[in-house]
Amino acid sequence: MASELLFDGTQYHIDFEDFERKITENGVKLFLLGSPHNPVGRVWTREELAHMAEICLRHGVFVVADEIHEDFVYPGHRHTVFASLSQEVADACAICTAPSKTFNLAALHNANVFIATPQARKAFPRELDAEGFSQPNIMGLVACQAAYRHGAD
């Protein structure tokens, strides 16, 4: 289920009341966050992210933050890594990034997942195995390493 964004004629906003209501009414325990948002391109402010984090922490919701578009932020905007809000937030989330958009490597199916807590990090490979994603793409790993090590701005 999604919490619809509000549009004021110039920019999209989060309906925090709807967001929290859907969490409580449906017993949500996992929230998938697009940051920056795709497809509207909205870069969430630190305050907006902190408000989402506070609601999720209060209700025991683990956040998977898809930050794959973090490198595509226009001047005047700043991407904030969700886990950077606090140690408490970092312990209750996983951050997903990838070289696919920035370096045009989408066909190599590679991503990075940063998980702070040992318990969640230990559970992650089991979940990947259950989904059939147990073997990494070696070409993707090499391309990712090369892109991050030698890629230009």
pLDDT digits (tens, 9 = 90+) for 19-63: 999 999 999 999 999 999 988 889 999 999 999 999 999 999 999
Is the CA virtual torsion 70, 81, 54, 65 positive or negative? positive
Alpha carbon distance 69, 82 (integer Å): 13
- Could you tell me which residues are beta bridge partners of residue 63? 31, 93
Q: Are 108 and 137 in contact (CB under 8 A)?
A: yes
pTM for the structure as a whole: 0.90
Which long-range CB contacts under 8 A does 121-128 form with residues at least 24 apart? 124/94
Q: How sure is the predictor about 125, in pLDDT bands with cuts at 50, 70 and 90?
A: confident
- Residue 5 DSSP symbol: P
